Amino acid sequence: MLQQIEQLHEQGHWQAALDSIRLLRDRYPKALPQRQRALEIWQEASLLLTQRDIALTDSALQAVTLQASRATTPLQRNRLNWKRDSLRIRYETLCGTVRIIRKKQNEQK
């Protein structure tokens, strides 16, 4: 099962790798060396997924910011500013997640 998880990770199927790691934990709670390796993959896959989400959120944030600057009515501007604020919060949360994952990875080294 660990080999399959490693393959999924190497192929960029990070969510599938995370799902498989959950199964590994449930099915083999005493397989400690495999679970340790799976934890490393979990952190790496989570980091990569989060970084991808950051890029998408940043692009959406830039687009909404531009739209808000070009809005012609106060209602449009307000709605776009609310969306912008929501995207900023998401962006900051994702960046915080990356910091935490990296800190955990450094602690394990």
Q: Is the pLDDT of residue 73 over 80?
A: yes
Amino acid at 62: Q
Instruction: Collect all residues with Cβ–Cβ distance below 8 Å to 4 and sequence separation of at least 6.
Output: 20
In the chain, how many domains are there? 1
**Model pLDDT, residue 109:** 75
Query: Which residue range forms the structural domain that includes residue 14?
Result: 2-108
Number of neighbours of residue 28 by Cβ within 10 angstroms? 14
Secondary element (H or E) of residue 79: helix 74-108
**Model pLDDT, residue 40:** 95
Q: Are 24 and 34 in contact (CB under 8 A)?
A: yes
Angstrom distance (rounded) from CA 21 to CA 8 = 11
Residue-wise pLDDT tens digits, 6-25: 999 999 999 999 999 999 99
| Averaged pLDDT for residues 18-33 | 96
Portion of the chain with pLDDT greater than 70, in percent: 100
Confidence of residue 30 (pLDDT cuts 50, 70, 90): very high
**Model pLDDT, residue 106:** 94
Portion of the chain with pLDDT greater than 90, in percent: 98
- Residue 5: burial class (beta carbons within 10 Å; 0-12, 13-18, 19+): buried
